[in-house]
């Protein structure tokens, strides 16, 4: 199964998880980058009110790919805004989408439902790939958890 790991990371934590996952899965990595980052309050405000954030040009075509593993932090109970823009613009029709959340703690159910809502009508099979609580973890611990998650995704 050809897999691509796609991620957005504001501060580098989700990047660590995504690159470890990709390495363990032997997958290509693609980064979602915002055109303009904003501060903590701006991120929260945009998240709560669903305001789109423009993303930099990237390869949004997933032809020949069977599964996309999407790694995203959770902002105010929802996937990060650049990820939501990606989900609206990416050509994911007929793909399997495994979502991996990085979070400081809290529920992931509402964030997963947001992902499902954003890809509704695209015939995307969405599943929760896992959640990594990042609070008080160094890069080694994050990589270790990502590798453990990858073993489950590989099955």
Mean pLDDT of the chain: 93
pLDDT tens column, 91-119: 999 999 999 999 998 789 999 999 999 99
> Which pLDDT value is given to residue 38?
81
Superfamily of segment(s) 3-154 = Flavodoxin domain (3.40.50.360)
pLDDT tens column, 22-63: 999 999 999 999 998 887 778 777 777 777 889 999 999 999
User: When comparing pLDDT for 16 and 104, which is higher?
Assistant: 16
Task: Report how far residue 9's alpha carbon sits from residue 141's, in angstroms, rounded to the nearest whole number.
Answer: 17
CB 72 within 8 A of CB 102: yes
> Which pLDDT value is given to residue 7?
98
Domain residue ranges in the chain = 3-154
> Which pLDDT value is given to residue 29?
98
How much is the pTM?
0.93
> Which pLDDT value is given to residue 80?
92
| DSSP assignment string, 69-124 | EEEEEEETTEE-HHHHHHHHHSB-TT-EEEEEEEESSS--HHHHHHHHHHHTTS--
CB 83 within 8 A of CB 119: no
């Amino acid at each position: 199964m050809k897999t691509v790991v796609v991620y957005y990371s504001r501060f580098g934590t989700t990047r660590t998880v995504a690159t470890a996952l990709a390495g363990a899965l032997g997958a290509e990595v693609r980064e979602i980058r915002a055109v303009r980052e904003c501060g903590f309050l701006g991120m929260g405000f945009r998240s709560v009110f669903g305001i789109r954030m423009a993303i930099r040009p990237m390869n949004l075509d997933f032809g020949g790919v069977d599964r996309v593993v999407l790694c995203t932090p959770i902002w105010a109970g929802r996937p990060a805004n650049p990820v939501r823009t990606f989900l609206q613009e990416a050509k994911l029709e007929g793909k399997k989408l495994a979502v991996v959340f990085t979070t400081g703690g809290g529920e992931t159910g509402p964030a997963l439902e947001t992902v499902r809502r954003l890809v509704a009508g695209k015939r995307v099979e969405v599943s929760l790939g896992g959640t990594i609580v990042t609070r008080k973890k160094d890069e080694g611990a994050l990589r270790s958890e990502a590798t453990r998650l990858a073993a489950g995704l590989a099955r």
